[in-house]
Structure 1
């Protein structure tokens, strides 16, 4: 199809990034994937995914590789519910693919995880040890009455037990739903009730920013009066540091008295590829979270292959670290199922990046010889404010051979800082675009092939196809912006919304049902080469006097200034232009700490945005703030910034890294209004 001019206004293309970084010759020479993979996959995508499914161990082969029933309009005008299946009839066990098969192949002594606790406790667990622990947990789950199809909610921090119980749930064919340990009792209760969970797994307490915090009371509040809950399984994590833990006899069970004494021998069953594996809830500040259902065979195929290809996995030598909290989909795919299915050694860290000091991540990279470091742009921008002069020379990061980013689009200047300071100017960066809904990476560079462009995920991976379209679903010309869609289906995609298939249809398939496109909710643009650049959520687009502007590009312009460490841009109401731009800026240094310096910095930033983008993108309001509200998964919660700027009540803030940030920003906004 030849792109035509869009019939409706699209998101404007504001910035142009010209820096290029070809794949290093030595990296390309040993890379898992070369440039031929795109054409081979495009020739027959279903056959391509069958080949990747063949990387896994199947107890029984599939009968039907793929079926797809798209949303279509009936004679009565009703849009049907779409349905996809991959590898139906094939049987496998996800946990066996992630653990047992590596032990059986002679790699039981290989370290599966190096665990680093926030207080400094450490543990390394081999694949053989992990197999024994998962088997014990599977037997304990069965003893607690958990069967295939039952739902188990897991409310734990980033500890080894979280991985063990998650794999054990998968091993017995039950369905897990992990919940971020910082969520409120109310947020946890919603997920317990919505899934109809029989079991909640939690801990006595957690370590947060150097302090032991009790969480069992919040867990109890979440399950109080929930009829489906039969037991609460409790890990002793903080012990005497959080005394007087509430206890309900007959319901509550200690991990060490259940899992700890169970048999190390467990005979696995094998389940159909379309058996639900987990429910992942989208989180946000507005609206009811959606419980996205991911199934076993297709999801594991996509997770395993994309980890192997995008992160160039070398199981014999890699020490891989994805910094995401285990409750987020990033960690499901690229801490748990992707790396484990490939037999890789990983690092997990319980705490925050600045506990007890701001270089904790560098210390961990050096200690374990991390080779692949995958993190969020927001942390990279935070590092830029903490280490304006670069990473201290006292930390040896020379083991790193590959970097990755996830969570939201990365600003070009942050990309370059990451490349030069963490990657030593030698390690390629795989900037990945994907969503909870997609299950695994959809767009990303292939590190041994792609010429990298700071700020761009470039193009869809082999076996996948993404487009940028206008309101009518027509592909926009190069140099233009619009809506990012996925054309076709693929194994890792969510199959439905738990208990609400109509919401699945309406949220993702209704808008472009005629074309059969999945609507991502993101804005994007093509550059002149046809590569794709993310422009943020469509809901975050700012319409200034009819010009539809991307928050990401305005933020990138601000972050390009050395005086700025991070920026969050949102829309605010304006009587003249309809909407105007408000920018919340974190200064990178001491500049801006007094009134004169602050005024000078604000004037400089307005002039800079006008110069590099144009007057239409000049922020009406610039607030210098100590931080912006971010989730633990690394996303700026721009909706909260909008609410603060407008003086509206805030939505759910329980997923914030630091719940005190909105109040501090509100004080600054109020002071500027006086």
Structure 2
């Protein structure tokens, strides 16, 4: 039985939406027809989007798509020359948006900075000229190890301006994780800050950067943003203050005309095993795909203010910056934790900065739910128009809490999913279609997505592999310095089919759902099930706050299910409670999927982008190789796994 729709778009949502206007211009009558047409002829759709978005090319392209070398090596907007930064800044300043607010930033200490498009362009141009003076040019790599401050935005766009390739690095990484990315990309410059604030504590970024650079022989210079004004180690000749080098440069820098396929960013994604993968993204494809998503999925309008709780080191950082600025919107950035110094920090920022589009993750909502409804109700969120989420599959309880408490039951919660290598999203809801809890609507526009069974045939009503059968502009142009790994990771299962590694299903009303990573899948007595289904069932127990399910080898069943749970406040672990949780899962999914073990923990190990590290849980439990843990946020939680109470 399919879930019921809980939100239906009003007349205002439909008529104001960019999707509806695009449909009207092309004689398309409904969303299903739009999805069919956008995927039946992807070249038509993405060519139409260049015009719809007003993307400016210095030299027109000859053809929208060339897949003559195979789908894995498709090229887009072939023969065209443009610059991503020009389309995010220069063209706005040359039009009517020069004095419009481009971004607002709030520090954890209450400091606020606001930059217009003209001011952000000047900051970008000065640092672009400084990079050129340091010998940085086309194809050179620049690491950006900064918190979400205005200089992070300027750094990324400055690289694009001069044809350099940005390597955004999560600001919470340790030295070895930073060094791994600098080494793989052979970066020449690293941009960092003296520090940042997190839960009232100064986080010293410069010493971490020093240690990383010591391990990265290609790095010649370290540019340092003064955020905290504290004493820091300094190497004369190598280290340069941002505020000193910028004033020595002209406030104008022409954009380099870049080939449409020229790389502008290497975005690293961490797996549980092996080296991080460097996804290569290019000027035209990334710009067009991301801008289209921000236009259609969250429906960013001229007066919108977009805030996504993220970091430049995760794909949603560039998504927010490039998409928001390409459309001429206003970005809202903030430093620190969303629940510090008080539990209502995020909601206060939303109110005071007039946020209209707010991006969250299921894990963030679960973390904020524990404070109850009062922190939300204490603030006027009436300007909020759209909620959005990504990162991992939802459980019903937090989805409903976010929809009702934050959105008041009247605003859409646009759930979407893709990945760093995808450039953005495979699946997404739209603001002009009804919504179901936890669902993803359908394929993102222009994305030929399907669900395959083990034999490579499309299936409906069952869980299968999420795949893409046609190219798209935002797809990674391979993995940096590792062509073989790229082909093995995404293209080796079925010819000319991208296999993403997610389990998905489509219900009898055509609504799509995710069920977790397919490489996390459990197989119990020959029956496959995604961990997210078990976790959602466990969280349905009123005492369970969070859960993670993993498979453990079993002589008879192949695998048995172990469920690690975090209990709610003031709940005492007990054998009775363990049995209740097992019974709850059995009631929802059937007795074969009742966990053999329910273990109580105080926290679950997660990445800094809030994803539960299930494979690391399993590896720690079974004393296997833990693989790459550079993205692990809370190491103590992983160490708790083998001694969790049974």
Please tell me the TM-score bracket, short chain as reference: over 0.9
- Residue 584 of structure 2 corresponds to residue 608 of structure 1: yes
TM-score by length of 2: 0.94
- CA shift, 1:635, in A, is 1.0
Distance in 2 of aligned mates of 1:179 and 1:646: 31
Matched, 1:231 2:221: yes
| Distance of 1:115 and 1:258 partners within structure 2 | 22
Once the two structures are superposed, the pairs formed by residues 168-247 of structure 1 within 5 Å of their partners are 168-224=158-214, 226-240=216-230, 243=231, 245-247=232-234
- Residue 425 (1) aligns with residue 409 (2): yes
The residue that corresponds to 2:440 in the other structure is 457
Query: Partners of 1:142 and 1:510 in 2: how far apart?
Result: 41
Return the offset for 1:532: 2.1
Q: Superposition pairs for residues 346-385 of structure 1, below 5 Å?
A: 346-385=331-370
1:460-479 counterparts in 2 under 5 A?
460-476=443-459, 478-479=460-461
More divergent stretch after superposition (539-548 vs 529-538)? 529-538
Indicate if the aligned counterparts of 2:600 and 2:645 stay in contact, CA closer than 8 A: no
Higher relative contact order (Cα pairs below 8 Å, separated by 6+ residues)? 1
Structure 2 gaps of 5+ residues are 21-30
Between the aligned partners of 2:493 and 2:497, the Cα distance in structure 1 is: 8
8 Å Cα contact 1:409/1:535 also seen in 2: yes
Q: Is the 8 A contact 2:162 2:256 kept in 1?
A: yes
Q: In 2, are the aligned partners of 1:325 and 1:632 still within 8 Å (CA)?
A: no
Question: Where does 1:417-566 land on structure 2 (aligned, <5 Å)?
Answer: 417-448=401-432, 450-476=433-459, 478-513=460-495, 516-566=496-546
Matched, 1:116 2:106: yes
Name the TM-score, length of structure 1 as normaliser.
0.91
Alignment: residue pair count:
633
1:203-352 alignment runs, 5 A limit: 203-224=193-214, 226-240=216-230, 243=231, 245-315=232-302, 317-333=303-319, 335-352=320-337
Give deviations 1:232-262, integer Å, cap 9, x for gaps. 111122222xx3x222222111111112432
| 5+ residue gaps, structure 1 | 1-14, 72-80
Distance 1:281 1:266 in 2: 28
Deviation by residue 1:567-615 (Cα, 9 ceiling, x = unmatched): 22212223332211122222233122xx5xx333322211111111111
- Describe the shift of the 1:656–1:222 C-alpha distance in structure 2 as closer, same or farther (beyond 3 A): same
- Please give the alpha-carbon distance, in whole angstroms, between the structure 2 residues aligned to 1:263 and 1:506: 46
User: 1: CA distance between counterparts of 2:635 and 2:342?
Assistant: 20
In the TM superposition, what is the alpha-carbon distance from 1:475 to its structure 2 partner? 0.9
Quote the Cα distance in structure 1 between the aligned partners of 2:376 and 2:502.
37
Instruction: Give the distance between the partners of 1:43 and 1:648, measured in 2 at CA.
Output: 45
* Aligned partner of residue 169 in structure 1, secondary structure: helix
Query: How large is the Cα RMSD of the aligned pairs?
Result: 1.8
Report the CA distance between 1:306 and its aligned residue: 1.2
Give the equivalent residue in structure 2 for 1:672. Answer: 645
CA distance in 1 between counterparts of 2:602 and 2:109 reads 26
| Equivalence map 1:384-423=2 (5 Å) | 384-387=369-372, 389=373, 391-423=375-407
Following superposition, the deviation at residue 70 of structure 1 comes to: 5.6
| Alpha-carbon distance between aligned partners in 2 of 1:18 and 1:57, rounded to the nearest angstrom | 43
Aligned equivalents of 2:489, 2:69: Cα separation in 1? 14
CA distance in 2, matches of 1:28, 1:368: 26
Q: How does 1:20-59 map to 2 (within 5 A)?
A: 20-34=6-20, 35=31, 37-54=34-51, 55=53, 56-59=55-58
1:659 to 605, 612, 635: 635
Deviation at residue 39 of structure 1 after TM alignment = 4.3
1:44, distance to aligned residue in structure 2 (A): 2.7
Contact 1:390 1:421 in 2 (8 A): no
Q: Residues 581, 83 of structure 1: CA spacing in aligned structure 2 closer, same or farther, 3 A cutoff?
A: same
CA contact (8 A) 2:339 2:368 kept: no
| Structure 1 residues 60 and 214, CA gap change in structure 2 (3 angstroms) | same
* SS of residue matched to 1:348: strand
Q: Does the CA contact (< 8 Å) of 1:321 and 1:374 recur in 2?
A: yes
Q: What is the distance in 2 between the residues matched to 1:627 and 1:444?
A: 30
- Residue of structure 1 in register with 2:25 after alignment: none
Q: C-alpha deviations, 1:40-74, integer Å up to 9, x for none? A: 42453202101112221111100121111465xxx
Contact 1:182 1:654 in 2 (8 A): no
Q: In structure 2, what is the Cα distance between the partners aligned to 1:562 and 1:107?
A: 50
